[in-house]
Every structure is written in structure tokens, then in C-alpha cells.
Amino acid sequence: MYLITVCFGLDKGVSFEEGELFRFAMRRFSYVLEWAGIVVVVKHPDCAATLLLAYFTNISGVLDYLPIERVLMSGSIIAFCSVTSLARTA
């Protein structure tokens, strides 16, 4: 949270003191963890159920090595990881 706030502040040209910024980041950290926890709780049963089901039945594509799909997924993650920073500068 601290690094995100530093980058956001430097990007917007905001001046800040490190101590104040650290205290702000510590206060916001619990809020970020709350939302991250909600995402994990919602998505984990879906992923775990699919993998568990794949161990006992034959679901093609779940436990297989899929080289083309891995390349496409890695490429899309790399391509879209900085969309928000590009959108702010445009």
C-alpha cells in the first residue's frame, strides 16, 4: 500500500512527508485487505471445486499442459497490467 501511494503521489505531483505517507498507508492497508479477502473468499471455492472435480473425472483442459493458452494468458497479463497508468496519462 505504501509503494502504491508513493507512486500515485509522484505521478500526480503531490508533495508528502514520508512519515505521514506511511501512517496513511497503514490506515488504508486494512481496507485493502478487506477487499482482497472478499475476492479470495468468492473466487476460491470456484477454482478449488474445478480442480477437485478434475481429479476424479476427466475434464479436458483443466489439468492438461496447455502451451498456447499459457502464452496467450501471460501475454494478456503483461499487456494489460499497466492499463490504469496509461489511462491516467492519456
Name the residue ranges covered by the structural domains of the chain. 2-89
Give percent above pLDDT 90 in the chain: 0
Taking 60 as the threshold, does the pLDDT of residue 47 lie above it? yes
Write down the residue that cell numbers 501511494 correspond to: 5
pLDDT score at 89: 55
The overall pTM is greater than 0.75: no
Residue 52's identity, in one-letter code, is: L
Q: How many residues does the chain have?
A: 90
Residue identified by cell 497490467 is: 81
Under the banding of pLDDT at 50, 70 and 90, the label for residue 87 is: low
- Residue 72: CB atoms within 10 A of its CB come to 11
> What's the rounded Cα separation, in Å, for the pair 82 and 7?
13
